[in-house]
Amino acid sequence: MAKVNRRSFLKVTGGLGLSVLGTSLLPLPLWAHDHGGTGTPSPGVGIPPSGGTGSVIDLKLIAREKDVSLFPDRATHVWSYEGEILSAPPSAMTALAGNYLGPILQVRSGDRLRVQFESEVPEETIIHWHGLHIPADMDGHPHAVIQKGQTFQYDFAVENRAGLYFYHPHPHGKLGRQVYLGLAGVLIVRDAEEDALGLPTGEQEHLMVIQDRLFDANRQLEYLTGGMHDRMMGMHGDHILINGQFTQNKTVTRGTQRLRILNASNARLYNLAWSDGRPLTIIGTDGGLLKAPVQRKTLLLGAGERLDVLVDFSDVPTGQTVELQSVPMAAGAGKPFTIQSFVMGAATTAKYQTPAQLCRWDAIPVSESVNRPGDKSFQLRPTAQGWTIDGLTYDPHGVSEKETVQLGTTEIWEFDHTVSGMAHPMHIHGSQFQVLERISGQFQGAFDEGWKDTVLLLPGDRVRVIKRFHQHAGLFVYHCHILEHEDHSMMRNFLVKE
């Protein structure tokens, strides 16, 4: 395995100096819920989410310490979610063998998800369902933490559209280390609108959870060994893992593949591109499908962001390799590095005809907002205590007037990143929002299309998002998804009051 320079990212913003590593990628298990009507996908678009049939998916997740074999010579000690199906179809939970990543959970929009969460780790923790629109007391707010030996019962309806969501701990000040040690997993939501597209599935649908890690000579995870520097820049590793493993190349059929990408790194920003210069065909983002596919040569994916990508390999000869890479943001600012190599197998599968229109949803009208663009602005600012929002550190019970929203209303929030000098992916709990406007600084490449829960702020940017605060009242958080920033202390509460 190649060692890479962890610090070369200092030359540019946000960490793009890594070099090569072996990686792997995993086909998604075929989902076989026989509730919610999979049937033959019908042609056309605009079919609203099924709402499923409201099946009850009853699961158990346990956070525990264990040893995994990432390296051939010695086991690595990790923290990991392990799961068990209490009552659900087998496809609802798929364990990933031999690594630290939690099981893949799959549900349908409209299902009721019940998760009995038990903690066996020696530190307070709680699970947050990133991207889901659920009641405040189910959201894993830092004040809901449990101790070792305790249980938290989740029980909520899945309201979200089809998409790739994820679950991870959310105790304040300890989140970065817990995720780094291995506590994270994905939740895939399916719905009828997505079914109708007949997207590539089975061996042609791939999960890619991208993470970077640093290991010591004993093959153990090293966290914040770089002290204040790691805290300010966020924890960057020198090994890339995909789905919690190092593996080399992935053999695929010469046909259309669907890549479901999550940047679950603590801090690292990836500038994605194909090694042969083909454009990335993006069909979805954090909150599910776009209205229509979008093509980009390169694209920045910040921590917490997701991407749904189609790639048609039918033009690549058998035996040849195409790499998904992270490339420098500017000439001379580091070298490209491999995220995943795809080797063309002998088999050819039918080419998927990507529809010109994927689905229908409306832009949230500015007129729906109770405030005007720019009049509610949150400034991303470094202080002696670390990174902050508006110069304020996290206050477990505190919430300002500006952070108080009336239930049932829509607001426009601005993140102002004109003061400090590195990228911050800003995440808001609750419903998915839309990016209204990016008043851009010097850097391009962030992707704002579709429904989002995390938006990347590049130095000099101001970004305005429009968000509905409907259905769920209570205390939620918003924060930078560079987990070391969130821990120290770029997180604040917001209150949706009835």
Is residue 424 a contact point for Cu ion (CB under 5 A)? yes
Of the pair 6, 467, the CB lying nearest ligand C2O is at: 467
Is residue 479 a contact point for ligand C2O (CB under 6 A)? yes
| Shortest distance, position 117 Cβ to ligand C2O, whole Å | 16
Q: What are phi and psi of 425, to 5 degrees?
A: -80, 110
Contact between 176 and 481 under an 8 Å Cβ cutoff? The reply is no
Place of tokens 């659920």: 134
Of the pair 134, 192, the CB lying nearest ligand C2O is at: 134
Which one of ligand C2O, Cu ion, none interacts with residue 168, CB within 5 to 8 A by kind?
Answer: ligand C2O
| Shortest distance, position 140 Cβ to ligand C2O, whole Å | 8
DSSP assignment of 417-468, as one string? -SSSSS-EEEEESSS-BEEEEEE--S---B---SSBSEEEEPTT-EEEEEEE
- Among the listed residues 257, 274, 234, 255, the one whose alpha carbon sits nearest the alpha carbon of residue 308: 257
Is residue 164 a contact point for Cu ion (CB under 5 A)? no
Residues in region 56-115 near Cu ion by CB under 5 A? none
Is residue 492 a contact point for ligand C2O (CB under 6 A)? no
**Which residue from 429, 438, 464, 492 is in contact with ligand C2O, where contact means CB under 6 A?**
429
Site size toward ligand C2O (CB under 6 A) is 10
Is residue 467 a contact point for ligand C2O (CB under 6 A)? no
Q: Which two tokens stand for residue 355?
A: 């529809």
| Shortest distance, position 30 Cβ to ligand C2O, whole Å | 27
Is residue 141 a contact point for ligand C2O (CB under 6 A)? no
Q: Which stretch binds Cu ion (CB under 5 A): 272-280, 348-356, 367-375, 423-431?
A: 423-431
- Among the listed residues 234, 117, 120, 133, the one whose alpha carbon sits nearest the alpha carbon of residue 175: 234
Which one of Cu ion, ligand C2O, none interacts with residue 33, CB within 5 to 8 A by kind?
Answer: none
Which one of ligand C2O, Cu ion, none interacts with residue 438, CB within 5 to 8 A by kind?
Answer: none
Is residue 189 a contact point for Cu ion (CB under 5 A)? no
Is residue 306 a contact point for ligand C2O (CB under 6 A)? no
Distance CA 136, CA 446 (A): 29
Of the pair 6, 429, the CB lying nearest ligand C2O is at: 429
Q: Which stretch binds ligand C2O (CB under 6 A): 244-252, 388-396, 459-467, 477-485?
A: 477-485
Contact between 187 and 125 under an 8 Å Cβ cutoff? The reply is no
Contact between 423 and 456 under an 8 Å Cβ cutoff? The reply is yes
DSSP assignment of 151-206, as one string? EEEEEEE--SPSEEEEEEE--TTTHHHHHHTT--EEEEEE-HHHHTTT---GGGEE
CA 421 to chain centre: 23
Is residue 170 a contact point for ligand C2O (CB under 6 A)? yes
Is residue 133 a contact point for ligand C2O (CB under 6 A)? no
| Shortest distance, position 368 Cβ to ligand C2O, whole Å | 25
Q: What are phi and psi of 144, to 5 degrees?
A: -95, 10
| Shortest distance, position 169 Cβ to ligand C2O, whole Å | 9
Distance CA 241, CA 337 (A): 13
| Shortest distance, position 91 Cβ to Cu ion, whole Å | 24
Count of alpha carbons within 13 angstroms of residue 257, beta-carbon side: 30
Residue 474 DSSP label? E
Is residue 260 a contact point for ligand C2O (CB under 6 A)? no
| Residue 460 φ/ψ region, left for φ over 0, alpha for ψ in the -120 to 50 degree band, beta for the rest | left
Is residue 130 a contact point for ligand C2O (CB under 6 A)? yes
Which one of Cu ion, ligand C2O, none interacts with residue 304, CB within 5 to 8 A by kind?
Answer: ligand C2O
Q: Is 127 helix (H, G, I), strand (E, B) or coil?
A: strand
**Interface with ligand C2O (CB under 6 A):** 128, 130, 168, 170, 304, 427, 429, 477, 479, 481
